Structure 1
């Protein structure tokens, strides 16, 4: 089975680098399944988990926005922030989700609603990448 190289990079570090069979990511236009020899493209990414498939196993990476560049034999994700699902502290992510939901429910003028929405999306992304469905 053919593979392609997946690299997930943030401004701070390289989060993931491995040969994979398929990459599934959520771009702004919808979900993308990338396999070896895919047509080249560049797309902005939503805050959503990226799935890397190797044989029958799957690795999830919480990607918090950025861009994905697809080449014939390589996918590079330049993310604002990213972390492996296995490294995520679920209790901390759940607390962040609850905090963001409380801020959104308060509807106070001093609370930046957009910022709270983004915090909620990031928390849900982390929870999903860690293997729990919300």
Structure 2
């Protein structure tokens, strides 16, 4: 039985990671998903949150935004709008984005604007959470 599978993590602006992985954990619409080698094939939605993957016995962490995950027994491809390492995140900028989104939520908005602002707030809070845990 294989102990690793090929993992490819792609952000909209760059390839983030390509290589063998022992385990992958990511947030989905139905909760947290865990992927091991020879996992059953599936395609699912990726929700903004904390991404964890184990390479050479060491856990790596990143903040991810919404996207898709294609799982096959021998390989997994994760596509996300953004993928950021904790050290790449500017904490002051993320805090400012959070405050700006909270202020916008207090104002009257259309439904579309409300959902966009909620997504901005979730992204900022996720970035702050990941940096506070792993920096």
Aligned CA distance change for structure 1 residues 79 and 103 (closer, same or farther; 3 Å): same
Counterpart of 1:107 in structure 2 is 107
Q: Residue by residue, what CA displacement relative to the aligned partner does 1:50-78 show, whole Å, maximum 9, x if unpaired? A: 11123553211221111001111221111
Aligned CA distance change for structure 1 residues 5 and 90 (closer, same or farther; 3 Å): farther
Number of residue pairs matched? 132
Preserved contact between residue 59 and residue 85 of structure 1 (Cα < 8 Å): no
Distance 1:49 1:24 in 2: 8
Preserved contact between residue 107 and residue 113 of structure 1 (Cα < 8 Å): no
The within-5 A match list for 1:51-90 is 51-54=52-55, 56-90=57-91
Q: Which runs of 4+ in 1 moved over 6 A?
A: none
Q: Residue by residue, what CA displacement relative to the aligned partner does 1:57-113 show, whole Å, maximum 9, x if unpaired? A: 321122111100111122111112222223111221121112111221x22347922
The within-5 A match list for 1:6-17 is 6-17=7-18
Distance 1:4 1:87 in 2: 26
Q: CA RMSD in A?
A: 2.2
The secondary structure found in structure 1 opposite 2:63 is strand
Of Structure 1 and Structure 2, the greater helix share is in 2
Output the TM-score relative to the length of structure 2. 0.84
Output the TM-score relative to the length of structure 1. 0.85
Aligned CA distance change for structure 1 residues 128 and 73 (closer, same or farther; 3 Å): farther
Distance 1:86 1:35 in 2: 27
Quote the offset at 1:119 in angstroms.
0.4
Preserved contact between residue 15 and residue 84 of structure 1 (Cα < 8 Å): no
Larger displacement relative to structure 2 (78-87 or 95-104): 78-87
Distance 1:131 1:24 in 2: 19
Quote the offset at 1:35 in angstroms.
0.7
